[in-house]
Amino acid sequence: MRSRFVVFLCVIQAILFLGHWFVYETWTWFWRLPANSLDPPGNSGLAVAMAFLSVSFLSASLLAYRYKHLLVRAFYTVSAAWLGTVLYFLLAAIISWPLYGIARLSNLRLQRWPIAVITFGLALVVSLYGIINAARPRLKHITVRLPNLPESWRTRTAALVTDTHLGPVRSYGSLRRIVSAIAGQRPDLVLIGGDFYDGTAADYDGLARPWTGLSVPFGIHFIAGNHEEFSDSRKYFDALEKSGVNVLGHDKLTLDGLQFVGVHYHNASHPDRLRSNLQRAAIDRTQPSILLTHAPDHPQVAAEEGISLQLSGHTHRGQFFPFTRIVDRVYRQFAYGLQRCGDLFVYTSCGAGTWGPPLRVGTTPEIVMIHFE
């Protein structure tokens, strides 16, 4: 297992190095003045900087999983932001070459450097926008009509928060703002759909503490995402429980006639395990039920087992382009938003935080307010 992990890290690092090399070579070639064809091919200072940056994210990630020191957090945050930026620089570098080729074939007397300035400049603007956009979750309101919903639940509201990824980048202040936004909506129930923590070393008790200031009639409930299962989940569960959050187990929870089932990521990642957990919960098919599970991997199983509404996250909706297109292809209609799977409603949230690069381009971080009718 360890040898496979080392191989995986080596492959990722090789990809990062090649990407940085291509960006460096493209920039220096386009920036070189055409009249000085004998100029040296690059800049040694820039080359050293790009070489360091190419290994920064992987190094920062390994440190962040062991240490929670302020300097480690700062190093991780900067390297993660750079990773997102260099991705757009890579796209800029790829686009620059066909633009130059078109200009040459069209006999345009166009110097090389303006092409790089325009493409790399746009990439930088998009990256800065992505960082700013990712820092402010917005409230998203949806309405769901569940069959046989008890009258007492009509007009009530549940808040859904997923994928906050608290750790080096998003921390106590991020959650405090989320809790404040939820409190302003006065929901009857709060559901946390996994990846509350990023899985890195952190003050888990301190990060969960803002929940202590939120009081809702039917409580705050949590299920684990894949990031809470990178290591022993108990330390995350203990921290949340200290802050008044209920960690859902395998048993069904009935709140004023509405059934709730929570299935942690590992137990829901395979259809047979998910089905077994739902059958163990003994859902009453004549009454409405809500399944809280991290990923929208097997909605057909939830539909077959009589669940009325499934709430998930995990996808981030791709978080930023071009990964938005990839996630759409993988999860199809369940990548984001409110969808149907037979008689089952499925809502997949794009999440309130970020993983890796703290960017969102083509997606918006959200806190979901679910209004029952």
Give the SS3 label for residue 319.
Answer: coil
For the record, the structure tokens of 315 come out as 């996808």
Annotated domain spans of the chain: 2-133, 138-372
Antiparallel, parallel or unpaired: β 157-161 and 258-263 = unpaired
Predicted TM-score (pTM) of the model is 0.92
Instruction: Round to whole Å and give the CA distance between 133 and 138.
Output: 10
pLDDT tens-place values along the chain, 373 residues long? 678 888 999 999 999 999 999 999 999 999 875 544 444 455 688 999 999 999 999 999 999 999 999 999 999 999 999 999 999 999 999 999 999 999 888 877 778 899 999 999 999 999 999 999 999 999 999 999 999 999 999 999 999 999 999 999 999 999 999 999 999 999 999 999 999 999 999 999 999 999 999 999 999 999 999 999 988 999 999 999 999 999 998 778 999 999 999 999 999 999 999 999 999 999 999 999 999 999 999 999 999 999 999 999 999 999 999 999 999 999 999 999 999 999 999 999 999 999 999 999 999 999 999 999 9
Instruction: Round to whole Å and give the CA distance between 158 and 185.
Output: 10
92 within 8 A of 25, measured Cβ to Cβ: no
- In the sheet that holds 189-192, the strands lie side by side as 138-144, 366-372, 157-161, 189-192, 220-222, 246-247
pLDDT confidence of residue 1? 67
Picking from 185, 141, 137, the residue whose alpha carbon sits closest to that of residue 370 is: 141
pLDDT confidence of residue 108? 78
Q: Under CATH, which number does the domain 138-372 receive?
A: 3.60.21.10
Instruction: Round to whole Å and give the CA distance between 319 and 118.
Output: 25
Is residue 246 packed enough to be buried (19+ CB in 10 Å), middle (13-18) or exposed (0-12)? middle
Write the DSSP assignment of 209-274 as a string of letters: GGGGG---TT-EEE---GGGGSS-THHHHHHHHHTT-EE--SS-EEETTEEEEEE-HHHHSSHHHH
314 within 8 A of 295, measured Cβ to Cβ: yes
Antiparallel, parallel or unpaired: β 366-372 and 138-144 = parallel
pLDDT, tens only, 211-254: 999 999 999 999 999 999 988 999 999 999 999 999 998 778 99
Instruction: Round to whole Å and give the CA distance between 237 and 89.
Output: 40
pLDDT confidence of residue 36? 46
pLDDT confidence of residue 365? 98
pLDDT confidence of residue 11? 94
pLDDT confidence of residue 43? 67
**E strand or H helix at 290:** strand 289-293
Alpha helices in the chain (DSSP H): 2-31, 44-64, 70-105, 112-134, 172-185, 204-208, 234-242, 265-268, 271-281, 299-304, 323-331
